[in-house]
Every structure is written in structure tokens, then in C-alpha cells.
Amino acid sequence: MNTEAKKVYFHTFGCQMNVYDTGKMRAQLTADGFEETDVPEEADLVLLNTCSIREKAVDKMLSNLGEHRRRKREGQKLTIGIAGCVAQERGKELMERFPDVDLVFGPDGVPAVRDLVSAAMEGKRVLDTDFLDLDNYPFVADVDPSDHGVSAFVTIQKGCDNKCTFCIVPSTRGIEVSRPAAEIVQETRDLVARGVQEIVLIGQNVNSYGLKRADCPTFAQLLYQVAEVPGVERIRYTTSHPRDMGDDVMQAYRDLPQLTSHLHLPVQSGSNKILRRMKRYYTRERFLEVVDKLRDARPDIQLTTDIIVGFADETDEDFEETMTLLDEVGFVGSFSFKYSPRPGTPALKMKWSVPPEVASERLTRYQDRQRELSLAWHRGLEGQTVDILVEGPSRHDEGVVCGRTSTHAMINVPGDLSLVGKTLPARVTRGFTHSARGELV
Ligand code: 5AD
Ligand code: SF4
């Protein structure tokens, strides 16, 4: 392919799967002679990797797309590609509505990005939203060239077989396929060889890894295999479904010091009625049981979660149950959202009776309380000495680096970049809402 010195600009929206997919596109295109640029005005190719989880994400992407289209209208020679979940969901519509968009492909197009881009740059208009063959799913092995930091993602599955009624992901990312364990271990080795210390295993529902394949270990067994790779200091994973947190995973928390003492466990709601409407297949009581078991297995574990407010016919009483669950578990952080109706999801057929302003009030109340809990957590660390893995420069202060505890608290300490990648003891001096300050001891 003749793409010498062509420049590509990526813009990634959405979740860790998209960040990872962009990395895989970066790996393939730079191997093909593309150079990455962070200046869209210099680009020959713009690739937007899009998210459709909430309408807001789609709006953001459309307004961003508008800027690229404007520059193209004003004369920049530019190929515009839309990848990811919005492309999958609305591919045809995007092609029709935006004649100056050259290329549209869904998440399953990532392994073929070279050919797709090459056709588009030769002047064809390309739409590819076919799902790939599940039996031989071509997970991309090339490592993202920008993965030489402290922490890197490794995908362990694609797609999702759950049918949470609010969620568009099963239709944008298709049926769940587990990646062969040998590939996961090999990618882990490749990343460690580049200096990565922390491996984050990612998938839409990691706990169901391997269950459909006789030749795959279970998720818990996979954790042991990854932990055996020399040089892996920390292992995290996301996203977990509370229904599928089995006793074998609890055991892994007892056995594997590499597993960090933090788990992101989306609960969505504290009300059993709403959980039923969401088809989450667990109750508040079962969720609390999982939390107890986790704390038995790993007493210092800290939990974060995802919450949706204003779903279906959520009453004040239902919402109060979410508020009391927040306190009962003591989540140290939450991603919380107002329900956003998504095309093609089962929830569209449900009665939806929460006025937007009520949903907004609930969200504000939830977030206010969460901030108090996060602040209390960081303040509780004051005076303690904790081990932090130094990740990089602080975003705000020069001469300060930030690192994470195993529980995922962010601690800023005076220091220089030579500390990056080291695990060092730090004494916490002051806790804030989103982080704490400390000094190395
Ligand atoms: N509206 C609002 N939030 C949603 N999420 C998923 N679908 C929707 C929706 N339709 C949230 C869930 C999920 C997180 C990734 O996004 O909380 O865990
Ligand atoms: Fe967004 Fe979900 Fe797609 Fe991730 S999988 S990019 S969160 S729609």
C-alpha cells in the first residue's frame, strides 16, 4: 500500500474497549507507513472511534465530526473514517447523511483496518458493518506502539451475551467471543518486554470468559496464567458482572498478590424492582453477599461502581434504595448517569415515567454523596504509608508525579520522571475528593 508519510489523526470516544481498538488500529496503520499526528489540520486521514452508550456520546462525536467535515469543505485533502459503535449502529445513515465521510466500519472492522483505509484512500466510499465469523475471530496481535507506559490493556473477549435492557452494546459489539488464553499470555509477555508493569484485562463481561469454549480456561484460571508471566506486577480487570463473581475468583484474591485490591463492580441500581426491569439477574441482597465475600477474601479491597438513575418507572423509594446501597457498600467512586434511551434496546418498550428534572435531581444527590464518600476515603489515608506504583507526571503540578495504590487511590508526590514505573512507599499527607497528596519515604 502506498501511504508513505501519510498522517493519521485518531479521536477515541467511549470505553476502554475503544481505547484498545484504537491502539490496534494505530499498530496496523503505523506498520503500514502511516505517521500519527495530534494535529487534525495536518492529517490525511481522520479516524473517529465512536461510542453510542448514551445519546450524549453520540452528540459529542457528531459535533466533532462537523469540525473535520468543515476543514474538508474548506480545502484540506482529508479522508474521514468513522469506526466503532455508532458506525456499527448507524452505518448506513452516516453514509447517507454525510457524503464527505469516506469510510464507516464497526468494531469488527478493526482487524481489517489496513484494507478498509487503503480502499477509502484510493477514493472508494466504504461501509463495512458485517460481524465476523465467531469461530475464527481474528483478535489483533500487533501491540499498540504507544503501549510502553506503566499500564496497558489486554482484551480477553469481544462482544457481550448479556441482555441488560438499557444497553446498546450487545447490538454494537455482537456476540461474545473469548480470545484464546495463549494469545492473552503472549500479549502480556510482549507488553512486559516493553516495560509495562500493570496489565488490565478488558472485556464487556470478563467473568464469563471461556465459558462457551471447551479449549479456554475459566476467567479465574486465566488470572493465574497471567500472574505467572514474569514481570507482571499488577493485574486489574474490567468489566465484571456481579451475577458472575464466582468463588473461584474470590479464591484468586486470596492466592494472587498481583491482583489489585480494587474492583469496579457495576451495580446500576439498589432497587430489586429496577434490577429486575434491567434484567441484571441479581438482587441487592445477592450483590451485598458478593461484596462480603470479596472483603473476606481481600480485606482491604475497595469498590467502585456504575449507577443509572431515572430508569423505567424508578420511584423516589427505588432511588432511595440506590442511595442507601451507596452508603452500605461505601463505594469509593462511581460513574453515574441519567438513563438515556437507546435505539433497538428492550427498555424502549417499557414504561418510562421519570421526568428529566427529577432524574437530574437524583443524579446530583447521588454524586454529592459519592463525593463525600470519596473525600472521606482519601482523608482516611492521611498519616498512612502506602505503596504506590508511579504512573507519570501529575497533570497539574510540575515536579510532582502521580501513582496509584493497589486500591486505586491516586497519590501525588514530589518527584521526577525517573520514578515512573517504580513501586515506592509514600506517606499520605492530605486527602482530597479525587486524589491525595503525599511524600515518598
Ligand atoms: N443510559 C445511561 N447509562 C447507560 N449505561 C449503559 N447504557 C446506558 C443507558 N442507556 C451505563 C451503565 C454501564 C456504563 C458503561 O454505562 O451504567 O455500566
Ligand atoms: Fe461505548 Fe459501549 Fe461501544 Fe464502549 S462498547 S464504545 S461504552 S457503546
Question: Per the structure block, which three cell numbers stand in for 330?
Answer: 461505601
**What residues have CB less than 8 Å from 417, skipping those under 6 apart?**
392, 393, 401
Q: Is the dihedral of CA 33, 37, 39, 40 positive or negative?
A: positive
DSSP states of 280-333: ----HHHHHHHHHHHHHHSTT-EEEEEEEES-TT--HHHHHHHHHHHHHHT-SE
- For residue 270, the 8-state DSSP code is S
Rounded to two decimals, the pTM is 0.95
Res. 305: pLDDT tops 90: yes
Phi, psi at 124, each rounded to 5°: -80, 155
Tell me the Cα Rg of the chain. 22
The pLDDT of 203-228, averaged and rounded, is 96
What is the Å distance from ligand 1's center to 91 Cα?
22
Which range is least confidently modeled, 80-94, 134-148, 309-323? 134-148
Res. 3: pLDDT tops 50: no
Predicted confidence (pLDDT) per residue in 148-186, tens digit? 889 999 999 999 999 999 999 999 999 999 999 999 999
**Average pLDDT value for the chain:** 96
**What residues have CB less than 8 Å from 423, skipping those under 6 apart?**
197, 233, 387, 388, 389, 390
Ligand 2 atom having least distance to the Cα of 50: 6
Residue nearest atom 1 of ligand 2, based on CA coordinates = 51
Cα 149 to Cα 76: distance, rounded to the nearest angstrom: 34
Q: Are 59 and 27 in contact (CB under 8 A)?
A: no
Of the listed ligands, the closest to the CA of 266 is: 1
The pLDDT of 24-31, averaged and rounded, is 97
Ligand 1 atom having least distance to the Cα of 166: 10
The pLDDT of 93-113, averaged and rounded, is 97
Res. 1: pLDDT tops 60: no
Residue nearest atom 12 of ligand 1, based on CA coordinates = 306
Question: Which pLDDT score, from 0 to 100, does residue 218 have?
Answer: 97
Predicted confidence (pLDDT) per residue in 233-248, tens digit? 999 999 999 999 999 9
DSSP states of 401-425: EEEE-TT--EEEEE--GGGTT-EEE
User: H helices within 194-268, ranges in order?
Assistant: 219-227, 247-255
Give the pLDDT band (50/70/90) at residue 147: confident
Q: Does the beta carbon of 160 lie inside 6 Å of ligand 2?
A: no
Question: Which pLDDT score, from 0 to 100, does residue 95 have?
Answer: 98
Residue nearest atom 4 of ligand 2, based on CA coordinates = 15
Give the largest CA-CA distance in the chain: 63
- For residue 349, the 8-state DSSP code is G
Q: Does the beta carbon of 275 lie inside 6 Å of ligand 2?
A: no
Q: What percent helix, strand, coil does the chain show, rounded to 5? A: 40, 20, 40
Q: Does the beta carbon of 426 lie inside 6 Å of ligand 2?
A: no
Of the listed ligands, the closest to the CA of 167 is: 1
Question: Per the structure block, which three cell numbers stand in for 230?
Answer: 514474569
Question: Per the structure block, which three cell numbers stand in for 264?
Answer: 469496579
* Cell 507519570 sits on residue: 392
Per the DSSP assignment, residues forming a β-bridge with 36 are 8
Predicted confidence (pLDDT) per residue in 389-429, tens digit? 999 999 888 999 999 999 999 999 999 999 999 999 999 99
What is the Å distance from ligand 2's center to 241 Cα?
16
Q: Does the beta carbon of 52 lie inside 6 Å of ligand 2?
A: yes
What is the Å distance from ligand 1's center to 87 Cα?
18
What is the Å distance from ligand 2's center to 436 Cα?
30
Lining ligand 1 with CB less than 6 A are: 53-54, 166-167, 266, 268, 306, 308, 337, 339-340, 342
What is the Å distance from ligand 1's center to 323 Cα?
18
Question: Which pLDDT score, from 0 to 100, does residue 144 have?
Answer: 92
Residue nearest atom 14 of ligand 1, based on CA coordinates = 306
Q: Does the beta carbon of 17 lie inside 6 Å of ligand 2?
A: yes
Q: Of 271, 433, 290, whose CA–CA distance to 367 is shortest?
A: 433
Res. 4: pLDDT tops 60: no
Q: Are 128 and 117 in contact (CB under 8 A)?
A: no
Res. 2: pLDDT tops 80: no
Predicted confidence (pLDDT) per residue in 362-379, tens digit? 999 999 999 999 999 999
Q: Does the beta carbon of 14 lie inside 6 Å of ligand 2?
A: yes
Q: Provide the residue count of the chain.
A: 441
What is the Å distance from ligand 2's center to 15 Cα?
5
